[in-house]
C-alpha cells in the first residue's frame, strides 16, 4: 500500500478521491480486528496518541480511544475542562507543552473553527481534527462514506439527502465536501434559519425548504442533530414544529428509494429529527456508523503514525 | 536652506501637479519653483522620482496610550507615523481610560507635544466610557484639543441618543464619527458573511449589518444637519448609500482603509488572523466599489485604522484573535501599489491622504504655506519585516512581503521628523537638524 501523503487530517477539502479511497480501503483492512476474539494488534506499539478534547464528547473521544488501543498505541485522554484552559493557558502554550512530550498523533476537538489547523501549525507530529467549531469533522465524513460504501457498494453518483441544522454542522460541511468529490447529488432540507444563505454555492449542493424534494429517490438519508440551544437563538420556534416539518418518520422515508439507508451522526433526539420507528427500523445504519468509526479511526491513526510501508494486515 | 530638487510636487489644494524644486527654510516651504537657483550655502537634496506632497493626515489611528502601552505608545506610534509620511494623526478614544474627559485629552495632547514630532489630533468619545448612554462634555473636550467625537469601534446604536449626540456636537462644530454596524446582525461575527465564511465555518458579518446602520445614521444626520463621518466603509451598498446622501446634500463624509481597498475576504483563507479586521474584508465587488467611490469622491479620504496588537493576540485560534491590523507604515506602499496598478489616480490617492482628511476636520492641507511636507518615494522597495517597522506591533498580512513605496522625508512644523537617509528619526529632544 502506498504511503499516505498527508501529515495531518484537518479537513476533507485537502483530500482528493484517491486519498479518501486510500483511507477507506485501509479501514476495510482493520474492520475485522474489532470482530475478533482478541481485538488488538501490535501495529502502533510504542506510539503515543493524545486525545485533546476541548469540548465535551463521549462518542468521538471513545471511538478514537478504542481505535488507538486496538492498535496497541498508548492513548492519553486530555479533557480540557479538567485541565489547562481553566488555568487560562493559551492553545499555543498547550501545543508547546504537548510537543515536549513527543506524541506521535494529537487528536483535537475544539469549539473554534480552524483550531485544528492552528495546532497542526505548531506541532511537529500528526494532527487529526476531531471537530473544530462549525468547520470540519473529517473522520465523521470518512466513517459515513465507509458505511455508505459498504451498504451501497459505491460512493459514486448517489443521491444523498441531509436534513436539519447544516448551519452549525461541521459534520454536514465535511460530508458535503466528501460526497461532492464522488459526484453525489447532495440535497439539503431545513428551515432557512439553519441553512446559511451561501451554503448551496459554498458546497455545490441543492437546498430545499421542505423534505420531499430532498428525500425523493434518495439513496442515503442523513439526519442531523437539532441542538436545544438553537431555540434560545430564535432559530426555531419549537422542537414540535421542527419535527412536524423536518422530522424523518416512516412516511417521509417512504419517499426515498426502497432500500435507502438512514444515517445519523449521533447523539439522536428521538422524536425530533428522527422518528424512533426510523431510528430502529431496518433501513437504519446508525450502529454500523459507530462500528465503522472505530475501523476508520484505526486507519487514520495507522496512516499518520504507522511505519511507512507496513501493511495493516501484517499486524 | 534646504532645496529638494527635481521631485514632482502634488498639491491638491491648489490643483497643482508639477515638476519643481521645493525650497525650505527652517523646515518650512518658502518657495516652489520650476528651477531654483540655490545659493552656495544651501543643502541640496536630489529627490527626482519622488512626490512632494502635504504632510499626510490619518483620520483613524489607535495609539493605545494611555493604558495599552504593551501594544503601542505615543512615542512608537508617532515614530511609525513619521516613517509612514504622516504629519498628523487622529488618536482614537478607545484607550484605557477612555478619552472621555478633559484629563485624558490633556494627557494625550501634552505627551504628544513633548515628543515634538508628528502632531496628534485626538478624537474624544461621544458617550462616557463608550457605553452608549451619557454624552461627554464635548465643549470642554474641544477646548482641550479634541477635533471630533467617536465611540471608536462601539457604534451608537440608540437612534435617539445618536440624534442628541449629533445635535450637541453640531453646537460646537465637532464632527461625529461612527463605526456603522447593526450589532444584532453581526453577533459573534468573525469575518465577512459569504461563501468563504460558510466554508470556513466562521460566523459572518453580512454587508447588510453595515448598510442598515449607514442608512439609519445618514437619515439621523439629515434630521440634525450635523456632520456625520462614516468610518472605514467596507461594503458596496454603503458606498451607494453615502453617494445618495451626498447627492441629497446631507453633511456626510466617509473614509476607507488601504486594506479594504486592497484585500478581499480570501485573505482570511487558512484562518489567517492577520486578516481579521473590523469591519471585515469583503468581496471583490465591494473592493471595486470602494475604489470607485474613492475615485469619484463619494469617499473623502483614506484612513489607516492602525490597530496594533502583540504577536500573542494574533497567534491563536481565529475567534480568539484580536481585530485590526497596523497601517501607519503600510499605507503608502499599499496606496502606491494601487496607483501603480492604475486602480487609483495619483491625484485622488494623494488628495485622499491630505486634503480629504483635512476637509473632514475643517482644516487645510497644502505644500505651499502648509505646516507639514512629505517626500514620498513611490519606487522605494523594501521588505515588511519587524525590524523595518517603528510600530511596536507587526500585525499585518503584508508581513514578510516585498512592497514598493515609502516616505523618504517627513517635515512637521519646521522639523524634519523622519529622514530615511539618516535611517532613523532624529531625537525629538535635540534641536531640529533641518534648520539648514
Q: Which domain holds residue B378?
A: 2-51+373-424
Contact (CB, 8 A) for B315 and A92: yes
Q: Verify whether the Cβ–Cβ distance B195 to A202 is below 8 Å.
A: yes
User: Where along chain A do its domains lie?
Assistant: 17-137+291-305, 138-285
Q: If you search the block for the grid coordinates 469549539, which residue do you land on?
A: A111
Q: What is the pLDDT of residues B326-384, one digit of tens each?
A: 999 999 999 999 999 999 999 999 999 999 999 999 999 999 989 999 999 999 999 99
Contact (CB, 8 A) for A244 and A225: no
**In terms of domains, do B113 and B165 share one?**
yes
- Facing residue for B317 by CB, picked from A91, A173, A197: A91
Tell me if A17-137+291-305 shares its fold with A138-285.
yes
**In terms of domains, do B201 and B308 share one?**
yes
The grid cell for B281 is 474584508
- pTM (two decimals): 0.94
**In terms of domains, do B120 and B42 share one?**
no
CA distance linking residue A170 with residue A11, whole number of Å: 10
CATH of domain A138-285: 3.40.50.1370
**In terms of domains, do B282 and B402 share one?**
no
Model confidence at B122: pLDDT above 50: yes
CA angle A265, A270, A275 (to 5 degrees): 100
Q: What percentage of chain B carries pLDDT values higher than 70? A: 97
Gyration radius from chain B CA atoms? 21
Model confidence at A308: pLDDT above 70: no
Q: Which residues, other chains included, contact B25 with Cβ-Cβ below 8 Å and sequence gap of 6+?
A: B1, B2
Question: How distant is the Cα of B269 from the closest Cα of chain A, in angstroms?
Answer: 10
Q: What is the pLDDT of residues A184-243, one digit of tens each?
A: 999 999 999 999 999 999 999 999 999 999 999 999 999 999 987 777 788 999 999 999
Torsion angles phi and psi, residue A186, rounded to 5: -105, 125
CA distance linking residue A78 with residue A57, whole number of Å: 12
Q: A-B interface: how many C-beta pairs under 8 angstroms?
A: 65
Please give the span between the terminal C-alpha atoms of chain B, in angstroms, as a whole number: 5
Q: What is the pLDDT of residues A157-183, one digit of tens each?
A: 999 999 999 999 999 999 999 999 999
Tell me which chain B residues have a C-beta less than 8 angstroms from the C-beta of A91.
316-317, 320
Task: Give the residue with greater pLDDT, B427 vs B41.
Answer: B41
pLDDT value of position A224: 97
B430 is a domain residue? no
* Conformation bin of residue A102: beta by default, left when phi > 0, alpha when psi is -120 to 50: left
* DSSP-based helix, strand, coil % in chain B, nearest 5: 35, 25, 40
Model confidence at B429: pLDDT above 90: no
pLDDT value of position A78: 87
Q: Verify whether the Cβ–Cβ distance A198 to B270 is below 8 Å.
A: no
Torsion angles phi and psi, residue A27, rounded to 5: -60, -40
| DSSP for A14-57, written as a single string | T--HHHHHHHHHHHHHHHGGGGSSS----TTTT-EEEEEESS--
Q: What is the pLDDT of residues A250-286, one digit of tens each?
A: 999 999 999 999 999 999 999 999 999 999 999 999 9
**In terms of domains, do B207 and B142 share one?**
yes
Cα–Cα distances (Å) from A122 to A96, B315, B316, B401, in that order, read: 7, 10, 10, 22
**In terms of domains, do B392 and B316 share one?**
no
Tell me which chain B residues have a C-beta less than 8 angstroms from the C-beta of A201.
195, 198
Q: Which residues, other chains included, contact B427 with Cβ-Cβ below 8 Å and sequence gap of 6+?
A: none
Which residues, numbered 187 to 216 in chain A, qualify as contacts with chain B under a Cβ-Cβ cut-off of 8 Å?
196-199, 201-203
Tell me which chain B residues have a C-beta less than 8 angstroms from the C-beta of A114.
200-202, 271, 317-318
> Does any CB of chain A come closer than 8 Å to the CB of residue B159?
no
- Facing residue for B316 by CB, picked from A91, A170, A199: A91
DSSP B394: -
pLDDT value of position A314: 43
Which is nearest to B138 in space by CA: B87, B186, B93?
Answer: B93
pLDDT value of position B129: 98
Model confidence at B188: pLDDT above 90: yes
CA distance linking residue A251 with residue A258, whole number of Å: 12
Q: What is the pLDDT of residues B86-104, one digit of tens each?
A: 999 999 999 999 999 999 9
Of A77-81, A85-89, A115-119, B196-200, which gets the smallest average pLDDT?
A: A85-89
- Facing residue for B316 by CB, picked from A92, A113, A136: A92
- Facing residue for A199 by CB, picked from B198, B270, B316: B198
pLDDT value of position B380: 97
Helical packing angle, A286-305 and A59-70, nearest 10°? 50
B347 is a domain residue? yes
> Does any CB of chain B come closer than 8 Å to the CB of residue A170?
yes
CA distance linking residue A308 with residue A88, whole number of Å: 38
Tell me the CB-side half-sphere exposure of residue B396, using CA atoms within 13 A: 33
Count other Cβ atoms within 10 Å, centred on residue B135: 18
Question: How distant is the Cα of B75 from the closest Cα of chain A, in angstroms?
Answer: 30
Which fold is adopted by the domain A17-137+291-305? Answer: Rossmann fold (3.40.50)
Tell me which chain A residues have a C-beta less than 8 angstroms from the C-beta of B320.
91, 112
Torsion angles phi and psi, residue B385, rounded to 5: -120, 155
Question: How distant is the Cα of B314 from the closest Cα of chain A, in angstroms?
Answer: 11
State the best of B190, B193, B200, B322 to mutate against chain A, taking most chain A CBs within 10 Å. B200
**In terms of domains, do B402 and B286 share one?**
no
Model confidence at B432: pLDDT above 50: no
Model confidence at A16: pLDDT above 60: yes
Model confidence at B186: pLDDT above 70: yes
Average pLDDT, chain A: 93
**In terms of domains, do B327 and B402 share one?**
no
CATH number where B380 lies: 2.30.40.10
CA distance linking residue B391 with residue B408, whole number of Å: 17
**In terms of domains, do B240 and B270 share one?**
yes
> Does any CB of chain A come closer than 8 Å to the CB of residue B131?
no
**In terms of domains, do B66 and B45 share one?**
no
Q: If you search the block for the grid coordinates 506521535, which residue do you land on?
A: A104
- Facing residue for A118 by CB, picked from B201, B202, B317: B317
Question: How distant is the Cα of A310 from the closest Cα of chain B, in angstroms?
Answer: 33
Q: What percentage of chain B carries pLDDT values higher than 90? A: 96
Q: What is the pLDDT of residues B204-256, one digit of tens each?
A: 999 999 999 999 999 999 999 999 999 999 999 999 999 999 999 999 999 99
CATH number where B182 lies: 3.20.20.140
Q: Which residues, other chains included, contact A82 with Cβ-Cβ below 8 Å and sequence gap of 6+?
A: none
Model confidence at A87: pLDDT above 70: no
**In terms of domains, do B87 and B22 share one?**
no
Which residues, numbered 193 to 252 in chain B, qualify as contacts with chain A under a Cβ-Cβ cut-off of 8 Å?
193-202, 204
The complex scores an ipTM of 0.93
Q: B88 has which bridge partners?
A: B57, B119
Domain count, chain B: 2
Q: Verify whether the Cβ–Cβ distance A112 to B194 is below 8 Å.
A: no
Tell me which chain B residues have a C-beta less than 8 angstroms from the C-beta of A178.
none
**In terms of domains, do B256 and B303 share one?**
yes
pLDDT value of position A172: 98
Provide the sign of the torsion angle of the four alpha carbons B260, B263, B265, B267, taken in this order: negative
Model confidence at A88: pLDDT above 80: no
B433 is a domain residue? no
Amino acid at each position: 500500500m502506498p504511503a499516505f501523503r498527508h501529515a495531518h487530517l484537518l479537513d476533507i477539502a485537502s483530500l482528493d478521491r484517491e486519498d479518501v479511497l486510500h483511507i477507506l480501503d485501509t479501514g476495510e483492512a482493520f474492520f475485522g480486528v474489532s470482530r475478533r476474539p482478541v481485538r488488538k494488534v501490535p501495529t502502533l506499539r510504542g506510539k503515543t496518541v493524545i486525545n485533546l478534547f476541548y469540548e465535551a464528547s463521549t462518542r468521538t473521544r471513545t471511538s478514537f480511544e478504542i481505535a488507538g488501543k486496538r492498535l496497541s498505541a498508548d492513548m492519553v485522554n486530555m479533557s480540557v475542562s479538567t485541565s489547562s484552559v481553566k488555568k487560562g493557558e493559551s492553545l499555543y502554550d498547550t501545543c508547546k507543552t504537548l510537543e515536549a512530550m513527543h506524541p506521535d498523533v494529537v487528536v483535537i476537538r475544539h469549539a473554534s473553527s480552524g483550531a485544528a489547523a492552528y495546532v497542526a501549525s505548531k506541532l511537529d507530529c500528526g494532527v487529526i481534527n476531531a471537530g473544530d467549531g462549525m468547520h470540519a469533522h473529517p473522520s465523521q465524513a470518512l466513517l459515513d462514506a465507509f458505511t455508505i460504501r459498504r451498504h451501497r457498494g459505491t460512493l459514486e453518483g448517489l443521491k444523498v439527502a441531509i436534513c436539519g441544522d447544516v448551519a452549525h454542522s461541521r459534520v454536514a460541511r465535511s460530508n458535503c465536501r466528501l460526497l461532492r468529490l464522488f459526484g453525489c447529488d447532495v440535497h439539503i432540507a431545513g428551515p432557512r434559519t439553519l441553512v446559511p444563505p451561501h451554503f448551496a454555492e459554498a458546497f455545490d449542493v441543492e437546498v430545499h425548504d421542505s423534505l420531499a424534494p430532498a428525500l425523493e429517490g434518495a439513496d442515503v438519508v442523513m439526519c442531523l442533530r437539532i441542538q436545544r440551544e438553537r431555540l434560545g437563538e430564535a432559530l426555531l420556534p419549537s422542537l414540535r414544529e421542527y419535527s412536524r416539518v423536518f422530522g424523518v418518520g416512516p412516511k417521509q422515508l417512504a419517499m426515498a428509494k426502497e432500500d435507502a439507508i438512514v444515517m445519523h451522526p449521533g447523539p439522536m433526539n428521538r422524536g425530533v429529527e428522527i422518528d424512533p420507528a426510523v431510528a430502529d427500523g431496518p433501513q437504519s445504519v446508525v450502529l454500523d456508523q459507530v462500528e465503522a468509526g472505530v475501523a476508520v479511526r484505526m486507519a487514520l491513526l495507522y496512516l499518520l503514525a504507522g511505519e511507512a510501508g507496513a501493511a495493516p494486515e501484517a499486524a | 536652506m534646504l532645496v529638494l530638487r527635481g521631485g514632482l510636487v502634488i498639491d491638491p489644494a491648489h490643483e497643482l501637479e508639477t515638476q519643481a524644486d521645493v525650497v525650505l527654510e527652517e523646515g518650512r516651504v518658502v518657495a516652489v519653483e520650476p528651477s531654483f537657483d540655490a545659493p552656495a550655502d544651501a543643502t541640496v537634496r536630489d529627490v527626482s522620482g519622488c512626490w512632494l506632497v502635504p504632510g499626510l493626515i490619518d483620520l483613524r489611528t489607535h495609539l493605545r496610550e494611555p493604558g495599552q502601552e504593551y501594544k503601542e505608545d505615543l512615542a512608537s506610534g508617532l515614530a511609525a507615523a513619521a516613517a509612514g509620511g504622516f504629519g498628523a494623526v487622529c488618536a482614537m478614544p478607545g484607550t484605557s481610560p477612555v478619552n472621555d474627559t478633559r484629563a485624558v485629552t490633556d494627557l494625550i495632547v501634552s505627551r504628544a507635544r513633548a515628543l515634538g514630532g508628528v502632531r496628534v489630533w485626538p478624537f474624544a468619545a461621544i458617550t462616557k466610557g463608550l457605553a452608549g448612554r451619557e454624552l461627554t462634555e464635548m465643549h470642554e473636550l474641544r477646548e482641550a484639543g479634541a477635533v471630533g467625537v467617536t465611540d471608536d469601534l462601539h457604534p451608537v446604536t440608540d437612534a435617539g441618543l445618536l440624534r442628541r449626540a449629533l445635535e450637541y456636537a453640531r453646537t460646537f462644530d465637532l464632527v461625529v464619527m461612527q463605526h456603522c454596524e447593526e450589532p444584532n446582525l453581526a453577533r459573534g461575527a468573525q469575518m465577512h458573511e459569504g461563501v468563504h465564511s460558510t466554508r470556513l465555518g466562521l460566523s459572518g458579518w453580512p454587508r447588510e449589518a453595515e448598510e442598515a446602520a449607514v442608512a439609519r445614521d445618514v437619515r439621523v444626520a439629515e434630521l440634525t444637519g450635523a456632520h456625520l463621518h462614516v468610518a472605514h466603509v467596507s461594503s458596496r451598498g454603503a458606498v451607494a448609500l453615502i453617494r445618495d446622501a451626498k447627492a441629497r446634500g446631507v453633511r456626510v463624509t466617509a473614509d476607507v482603509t488601504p486594506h479594504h481597498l486592497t484585500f478581499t475576504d480570501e485573505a482570511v483563507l487558512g484562518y489567517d488572523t492577520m486578516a481579521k479586521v473590523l469591519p471585515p474584508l469583503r468581496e471583490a465587488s465591494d473592493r471595486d466599489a470602494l475604489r470607485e467611490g474613492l475615485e469619484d469622491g463619494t469617499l473623502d479620504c483614506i484612513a489607516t485604522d492602525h490597530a496594533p496588537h502583540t504577536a500573542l493576540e494574533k497567534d491563536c485560534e481565529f475567534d480568539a484573535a484580536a481585530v485590526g491590523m497596523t497601517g501607519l507604515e503600510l499605507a503608502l506602499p499599499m496606496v502606491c501599489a494601487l496607483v501603480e496598478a492604475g486602480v487609483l489616480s495619483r491625484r485622488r490617492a494623494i488628495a485622499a491622504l491630505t486634503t480629504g482628511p483635512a476637509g473632514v476636520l475643517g482644516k487645510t492641507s497644502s505644500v505651499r504655506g502648509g505646516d507639514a511636507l512629505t517626500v514620498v518615494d513611490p519606487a522605494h522597495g523594501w521588505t515588511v519585516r519587524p525590524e523595518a517597522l517603528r510600530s511596536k506591533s507587526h500585525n499585518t498580512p503584508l508581513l514578510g512581503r516585498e512592497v514598493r513605496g515609502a516616505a523618504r522625508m517627513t517635515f512637521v512644523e519646521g522639523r524634519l521628523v523622519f529622514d530615511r537617509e539618516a535611517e532613523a528619526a532624529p531625537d525629538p529632544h535635540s534641536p531640529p537638524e533641518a534648520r539648514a
